[in-house]
Amino acid sequence: MNLFLDSFWRAVAYCVRPRVIALSFLPLILMVAMALGLGYLYWEPAIDWVRNTLEASAIIKTMLDWLQGIGAGALKPVLAPLIVIFAVTPLIVVVSLLVVALLMAPALVSLVAERRFPNLERKRGGSWLGALVWSLGSTLLAMIALVVSVPLWLVPPLILILPPLIWGWLTYRVMAYDALAEHASRQERIELLRRHRGWLLGIGVLTGFLGAAPSMLWASGALFAVAFVLLIPVAVWVYTLVFAFSALWFAHFSLAALQALRAETANMPPPPPPPPPPLPPSEGAPVVALPHAIN
């Protein structure tokens, strides 16, 4: 419990550091760069294609004529740009968040290691390929668990328990591996995941609930089209900050647990030496013949 709470408050304190704040704005910078680049290259062709598609549809044409008849014809010129914006924004957001996730987790673990554990030996028990395989395998297992548990969601309490548990398990598997990949050996990582599985799962579940905050902003942006352009960047920034907090919490907990494990191993008494092997018979020693049994 002490390690759990200590790592929580340290993660909160690290979230206000200038480096973490700067990293949290990285997806917004990527979104603006991607939006400007895609807009410069494909905005006019995309608008023309959407407008031609709408005019070719009899149902859409009837709806537009109906809007014109009730005096809402001003919506017709902006309908195609709005469709393009609503269609492209999720793609830009997902790509930006994936890039940031790949860049932020190692950077935040390095920040914690530099400031709190500068003398902790780096045994490099994980690799980039190993992290990718581990993440994909864990994601596949989590998706299978979600599909299998869908019938249980009909029971009112379980729908509030099972999805957070599954996503919390996935978060702890991926985040704990990333936090220990550089510093722990494979044997140390297995031992730490076995020893602290409950606490790491608790961190994953709690941070999973924190991830619901951006979802509310996503929903608000979908309901209020006027605020879409403002709420979606805010949601992305909040999501990135939650991701940074999760990575920092796992890093503080995992590296402190690794340091304690190594101290515990160093203080253990060495194992007793193995018994010496039997000595071979000395050369030239008389060989005593045993009498044969008499039948």
pLDDT, mean of residues 145-162: 77
In a 10 Å sphere around its CB, with 0-12 CB exposed, 13-18 middle and 19+ buried, how is residue 166 labelled?
Answer: buried
> Is the pLDDT at 232 greater than 70, yes or no?
no
Domain ranges of the chain: 2-264
Split at pLDDT 50, 70, 90, the class of 9 is very high
Split at pLDDT 50, 70, 90, the class of 212 is low
> How many angstroms separate the CA atoms of 137 and 187, rounded?
19
> How many angstroms separate the CA atoms of 290 and 295, rounded?
15
Q: CB of 245 within 8 A of CB of 210? A: yes
Of 32-41, 72-81, 232-241, minimum mean pLDDT range: 72-81
* Coil, strand or helix at 44: helix
Residue 130 CB: number of other CB atoms within 10 A?
Answer: 13
Q: CB of 253 within 8 A of CB of 200? A: yes
Query: Which residues, including other chains, have CB under 8 Å from residue 170's CB and lie 6 or more apart?
Result: 138, 139, 141, 142, 204
* Per-residue confidence (pLDDT) for residue 94, from 0 to 100: 58
Mean pLDDT comparison of 126-135, 185-194, 228-237, highest-scoring range: 185-194
> Is the pLDDT at 215 greater than 70, yes or no?
no
* Per-residue confidence (pLDDT) for residue 16, from 0 to 100: 87
> Is the pLDDT at 253 greater than 90, yes or no?
yes
Tens digits of residue pLDDT in 62-120: 766 666 666 655 556 667 777 777 777 666 655 665 666 667 888 888 889 888 888 88
